[in-house]
Structure 1
Amino acid sequence: MDRETKLSGFAFIVLLVGLGLSALFIMLFAELADEMLDQELAVFDAVIIQLLGTISSSWMDTAMFVITELGSVWFLVLMSLGVLWVLGVKMRDKWGVLFYLVAVGGGSLLTVLLKHFFSRERPSINETIDAVGYSFPSGHSMGSLIFYGFLIYLVIRTRQAPWLQWASVFGLSVLIVLIGISRIYLGAHFPSDVIAGYIAGTIWLVLSLVALEWIQWQQRSPVPPVAALRKVLAPVYRAVIDKL
Structure 2
Amino acid sequence: MEKTQTPPPPPPILPKPTGFLARVLKLRRPVTVLGLLLAITLFLTWLPPEQRGEIGRAVLARRSLMVALGLFTLVSLSLLWARGQAIDNHVFLLFNLWGFRPRWLDILMWIVTQIGAGLVAIGLAIYLYFFKADPMPALQLALGTMTLALLVEGLKEIMNRARPYLINTQARVIGWKAPGRSFPSGHTAHAFFLVTLLNFLWEPPLIGTIGLFAVAVAVGITRMYVGAHFPRDVVAGSILGFAWGIFMILIDPFWPLWFPF
* TM-score normalised by the chain length of structure 2: 0.64
Deviation at 1:102, TM superposition (A): 3.1
Q: After superposition, what is the alpha-carbon deviation per residue over 1:61-105, rounded to whole angstroms, capped at 9, x for unaligned? A: 232122112222xxx3255233344256625343x3433233211
- Equivalence map 1:202-221=2 (5 Å): 202-212=242-252, 214-215=253-254
Within 2, Cα distance between the matches of 1:210 and 1:169?
Answer: 19
The alignment status of 1:41 with 2:41, answered yes or no, reads no
User: Sequence identity of aligned pairs in percent?
Assistant: 25
Within 2, Cα distance between the matches of 1:97 and 1:150?
Answer: 11
Equivalent residue for 1:113, pick from 154, 166, 185:
154
Within 2, Cα distance between the matches of 1:138 and 1:55?
Answer: 24
Deviation at 1:217, TM superposition (A): 10
* Cα pair 1:25 1:203 within 8 Å, conserved: yes
* Cα pair 1:102 1:208 within 8 Å, conserved: no
Higher helix share: 1
**1:31/1:78 Cα in 2 relative to 1: closer, same or farther (>3 Å)?**
closer
* Cα pair 1:67 1:178 within 8 Å, conserved: yes
Within 1, Cα distance between the matches of 2:147 and 2:121?
Answer: 17
Within 2, Cα distance between the matches of 1:87 and 1:149?
Answer: 19
Give the gaps of 5 or more residues in structure 1: 1-14, 219-244
**1:66/1:217 Cα in 2 relative to 1: closer, same or farther (>3 Å)?**
closer
* Cα pair 2:174 2:226 within 8 Å, conserved: no
- Equivalence map 1:36-115=2 (5 Å): 36-52=79-95, 53-58=97-102, 59-72=104-117, 76-77=118-119, 79-87=121-129, 90-94=132-136, 96-115=137-156
* Cα pair 1:18 1:210 within 8 Å, conserved: no
Q: After superposition, what is the alpha-carbon deviation per residue over 1:151-190, rounded to whole angstroms, capped at 9, x for unaligned? A: 222221xxx6xxxx44432322111111110111121100
Within 2, Cα distance between the matches of 1:29 and 1:40?
Answer: 19
**1:101/1:131 Cα in 2 relative to 1: closer, same or farther (>3 Å)?**
same
Q: Which has the higher contact order (CA 8 A, sep 6+)?
A: 1
Within 1, Cα distance between the matches of 2:80 and 2:130?
Answer: 43
User: Number of aligned pairs?
Assistant: 192
Runs of 4+ in 1 over 4 A off after TM superposition: 15-18
Which amino acid in the other structure matches residue 57 of structure 1?
R
Q: Residue 72 of structure 2: SS of its match in structure 1?
A: helix
Within 2, Cα distance between the matches of 1:97 and 1:61?
Answer: 32
Which amino acid in the other structure matches residue 211 of structure 2?
G
Within 1, Cα distance between the matches of 2:187 and 2:232?
Answer: 13
